[in-house]
Protein backbone atom coordinates (compact mmCIF):
# COMPACT_ATOMS: atom_id res chain seq x y z
CA UNK A 1 0.00 0.00 0.00
CA UNK A 2 1.44 3.37 -0.95
CA UNK A 3 2.25 6.04 1.59
CA UNK A 4 -0.23 8.38 -0.13
CA UNK A 5 -3.15 5.95 0.36
CA UNK A 6 -2.31 5.52 4.06
CA UNK A 7 -2.12 9.30 4.60
CA UNK A 8 -5.35 9.89 2.65
CA UNK A 9 -7.16 7.20 4.67
CA UNK A 10 -5.89 8.72 7.93
CA UNK A 11 -7.22 12.19 7.05
CA UNK A 12 -10.51 10.74 5.82
CA UNK A 13 -11.01 9.01 9.20
CA UNK A 14 -10.12 12.18 11.12
CA UNK A 15 -12.53 14.38 9.15
CA UNK A 16 -15.36 11.83 9.09
CA UNK A 17 -15.03 11.22 12.83
CA UNK A 18 -15.34 14.93 13.57
CA UNK A 19 -18.26 15.47 11.23
CA UNK A 20 -20.17 12.49 12.57
CA UNK A 21 -20.13 13.78 16.15
CA UNK A 22 -22.50 16.72 15.57
CA UNK A 23 -26.16 15.76 15.67
CA UNK A 24 -28.66 17.05 13.16
CA UNK A 25 -32.39 16.61 12.91
CA UNK A 26 -33.98 16.24 9.46
CA UNK A 27 -31.03 18.01 7.86
CA UNK A 28 -31.15 20.95 10.31
CA UNK A 29 -27.79 21.40 12.05
CA UNK A 30 -27.35 23.60 15.14
CA UNK A 31 -24.94 26.52 14.56
CA UNK A 32 -24.94 25.83 10.80
CA UNK A 33 -28.55 25.99 9.56
CA UNK A 34 -30.57 29.22 9.35
CA UNK A 35 -34.24 30.10 9.78
CA UNK A 36 -34.49 30.06 5.97
CA UNK A 37 -33.08 26.49 5.89
CA UNK A 38 -35.60 25.39 8.53
CA UNK A 39 -38.53 26.89 6.66
CA UNK A 40 -37.44 25.22 3.42
CA UNK A 41 -37.58 21.87 5.23
CA UNK A 42 -40.56 22.35 7.54
CA UNK A 43 -42.59 25.14 5.92
CA UNK A 44 -44.27 28.05 7.67
CA UNK A 45 -44.35 27.50 11.46
CA UNK A 46 -47.58 27.29 13.46
CA UNK A 47 -46.20 29.96 15.80
CA UNK A 48 -43.30 32.28 15.04
CA UNK A 49 -41.43 34.70 17.23
CA UNK A 50 -38.13 36.56 16.98
CA UNK A 51 -36.13 33.88 18.76
CA UNK A 52 -38.01 30.68 17.93
CA UNK A 53 -40.45 28.93 15.61
CA UNK A 54 -42.89 26.21 16.70
CA UNK A 55 -44.21 23.46 14.45
CA UNK A 56 -47.04 21.04 15.23
CA UNK A 57 -46.34 17.90 13.23
CA UNK A 58 -48.04 14.53 13.30
CA UNK A 59 -46.95 12.70 16.45
CA UNK A 60 -44.68 15.43 17.79
CA UNK A 61 -44.00 19.14 18.02
CA UNK A 62 -40.78 20.93 17.17
CA UNK A 63 -39.38 24.16 18.55
CA UNK A 64 -36.38 25.76 16.87
CA UNK A 65 -34.39 28.36 18.84
CA UNK A 66 -32.45 31.00 16.87
CA UNK A 67 -29.53 33.26 17.73
CA UNK A 68 -30.42 36.93 18.10
CA UNK A 69 -27.02 38.55 18.50
CA UNK A 70 -23.45 37.50 17.97
CA UNK A 71 -22.29 36.94 21.60
CA UNK A 72 -24.00 40.08 22.90
CA UNK A 73 -27.75 39.52 23.27
CA UNK A 74 -29.69 39.36 26.52
CA UNK A 75 -30.67 35.74 25.83
CA UNK A 76 -28.01 33.40 27.18
CA UNK A 77 -28.56 29.94 25.75
CA UNK A 78 -28.09 27.35 28.51
CA UNK A 79 -25.31 25.60 26.60
CA UNK A 80 -23.52 28.97 26.33
CA UNK A 81 -23.42 31.65 23.68
CA UNK A 82 -21.90 31.22 20.24
CA UNK A 83 -20.36 33.41 17.54
CA UNK A 84 -23.03 32.91 14.90
CA UNK A 85 -25.18 35.30 12.90
CA UNK A 86 -28.67 36.25 14.05
CA UNK A 87 -31.20 33.78 12.67
CA UNK A 88 -28.82 30.82 12.98
CA UNK A 89 -30.25 27.71 14.64
CA UNK A 90 -29.07 27.24 18.24
CA UNK A 91 -31.16 24.17 19.05
CA UNK A 92 -34.00 21.97 17.88
CA UNK A 93 -36.35 20.50 20.50
CA UNK A 94 -38.59 17.61 19.51
CA UNK A 95 -41.39 16.77 21.95
CA UNK A 96 -43.26 13.52 21.34
CA UNK A 97 -47.04 13.25 21.70
CA UNK A 98 -46.58 9.67 22.90
CA UNK A 99 -43.39 8.89 24.78
CA UNK A 100 -41.02 6.42 23.12
CA UNK A 101 -39.17 3.65 25.00
CA UNK A 102 -35.60 4.80 25.58
CA UNK A 103 -34.31 1.43 24.33
CA UNK A 104 -35.40 2.42 20.80
CA UNK A 105 -32.91 5.31 20.83
CA UNK A 106 -29.89 3.07 21.54
CA UNK A 107 -28.32 5.83 23.68
CA UNK A 108 -24.71 4.91 24.44
CA UNK A 109 -23.76 5.05 28.15
CA UNK A 110 -27.12 6.44 29.25
CA UNK A 111 -26.52 6.24 33.04
CA UNK A 112 -23.27 8.18 32.67
CA UNK A 113 -25.12 11.03 30.89
CA UNK A 114 -27.55 11.77 33.74
CA UNK A 115 -27.67 15.52 34.36
CA UNK A 116 -29.46 15.72 37.66
CA UNK A 117 -32.30 14.52 39.81
CA UNK A 118 -35.83 14.03 38.49
CA UNK A 119 -37.95 17.18 38.25
CA UNK A 120 -41.53 17.54 39.54
CA UNK A 121 -42.79 15.40 36.62
CA UNK A 122 -40.22 12.69 37.46
CA UNK A 123 -38.39 13.47 34.23
CA UNK A 124 -34.62 13.00 34.19
CA UNK A 125 -32.41 14.72 31.62
CA UNK A 126 -29.47 12.91 30.06
CA UNK A 127 -26.99 15.21 28.34
CA UNK A 128 -24.37 14.05 25.83
CA UNK A 129 -22.14 17.13 25.45
CA UNK A 130 -19.87 15.34 22.99
CA UNK A 131 -22.70 14.80 20.51
CA UNK A 132 -24.77 17.87 21.47
CA UNK A 133 -27.94 16.05 22.38
CA UNK A 134 -30.15 15.89 25.44
CA UNK A 135 -32.81 13.28 26.17
CA UNK A 136 -35.65 13.89 28.64
CA UNK A 137 -36.73 10.53 30.05
CA UNK A 138 -39.73 9.70 32.20
CA UNK A 139 -40.39 6.14 33.37
CA UNK A 140 -37.83 4.74 30.87
CA UNK A 141 -39.54 6.57 27.99
CA UNK A 142 -38.19 9.54 26.03
CA UNK A 143 -40.54 12.52 26.08
CA UNK A 144 -38.27 15.04 24.38
CA UNK A 145 -34.97 15.27 22.52
CA UNK A 146 -32.99 18.48 22.14
CA UNK A 147 -30.29 18.83 19.50
CA UNK A 148 -27.74 21.58 20.15
CA UNK A 149 -24.08 22.46 19.73
CA UNK A 150 -21.65 19.56 20.09
CA UNK A 151 -18.08 19.36 21.32
CA UNK A 152 -16.87 20.00 17.77
CA UNK A 153 -18.49 23.46 18.01
CA UNK A 154 -16.28 24.62 20.90
CA UNK A 155 -14.37 27.02 18.62
CA UNK A 156 -17.62 28.99 18.12
CA UNK A 157 -18.26 29.54 21.84
CA UNK A 158 -18.15 33.14 23.03
CA UNK A 159 -15.80 34.14 25.78
CA UNK A 160 -17.89 34.43 28.97
CA UNK A 161 -18.54 38.00 30.04
CA UNK A 162 -18.13 39.11 33.63
CA UNK A 163 -21.40 40.36 35.03
Q: What is the pLDDT of residues 61-72, one digit of tens each?
A: 999 999 887 776
pLDDT at 51 over 50: yes
User: pLDDT at position 134, please?
Assistant: 92
Q: Are 28 and 92 in contact (CB under 8 A)?
A: yes
pTM of the model: 0.79
Distance CA 109, CA 111 (A): 6
Mean pLDDT of the chain: 81
Q: What is the pLDDT of residues 69-88, one digit of tens each?
A: 777 655 555 567 888 999 99
C-beta pairs of 75-80 under 8 Å, 24+ apart in sequence: 75/51, 77/148, 79/132, 79/148, 79/149, 80/149, 80/157, 80/158, 80/160
User: pLDDT at position 20, please?
Assistant: 39
Amino acid sequence: MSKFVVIAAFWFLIFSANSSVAKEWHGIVPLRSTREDVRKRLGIPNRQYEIFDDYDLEGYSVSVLYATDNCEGPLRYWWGTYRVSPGTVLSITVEFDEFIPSSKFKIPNLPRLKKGDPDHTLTVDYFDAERGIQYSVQDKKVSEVEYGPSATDASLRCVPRNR
